[in-house]
Structure 1
Amino acid sequence: MSQQTPAEHELASLIVSSLNLEHLKAEQFAPEAPLFGTETGLDSIDALELALAVSKRYGFQLRSDNADNKRIFSSLRALSQHIESHRAH
């Protein structure tokens, strides 16, 4: 299993706190593992809440009508890379 980058760990911490996932620790998110429909138990409502949290933290919108959302939200690593390429610097 690959290690989280610092940006991935920060994002995993945001996921845990914004979605109230007390049963999970940020370190438990494998960077390449699917974010949704797995042991995390995340669903489409969580995706909306996560998109809102990301926009507040990183300063850009994750739009619900983006055709790439399935890829963007596919894993912690994919979401982190998307954020890093679009965040307000």
Structure 2
Amino acid sequence: MDTTQLREQLKTQIIKFLNLTDLTPADIKDDEPLFGDGLGLDSIDSLELIVLLKKEYGIDIRDPREGRKVLIDVATMADYIAEHGKK
């Protein structure tokens, strides 16, 4: 799977996992921050994203500092999955 496909897949999974029913993948920009002024996610959402990475890609993030580096935006998540994912 190329990076573009992975990014689109991630957007769909984020919407599904976080129950963001008012959004579509087209509403989420690849470089839009997931937290704060961007998508507006919170700390509970970050835990859900960590579960998503574990369940869907076999990536186990245990260090909060690593999580903050990975969960910046969709592009950063996709790059991390491409490098560390098991699927």
Aligning the two structures, in what range does the TM-score lie when normalised by the shorter sequence? 0.7 to 0.9
Distance 1:44 1:58 in 2: 21
Aligned residues: 85
Matches within 5 A, 1:23-62: 23-62=22-61
Amino acid at match of 1:6: Q
Once superposed, what is the RMSD of the aligned Cα atoms? 1.6
Structure 1 runs not aligned, ≥5 long: none
Structure 2 runs not aligned, ≥5 long: none
The answer to which structure has the higher helix fraction is 2
Picking from 67, 70, 74, the partner of 1:69 is 67
TM-score w.r.t. the length of structure 2 is 0.86
Instruction: Give a deviation string over 1:46-65, Cα, whole Å, max 9, x none.
Output: 000111012101112122x2
Residue 17 (1) aligns with residue 11 (2): no
Q: CA deviation at 1:29?
A: 1.2
Distance 1:20 1:39 in 2: 17
TM-score w.r.t. the length of structure 1 is 0.84
Identical-pair percentage: 32
SS of the residue corresponding to residue 34 of structure 2 reads: coil
More displaced 10-residue stretch of structure 1: 7-16 or 29-38: 29-38
SS of the residue corresponding to residue 67 of structure 1 reads: helix
More displaced 10-residue stretch of structure 1: 70-79 or 43-52: 70-79
- Which consecutive aligned stretches of 4+ in structure 1 deviate over 3 angstroms post-superposition? none
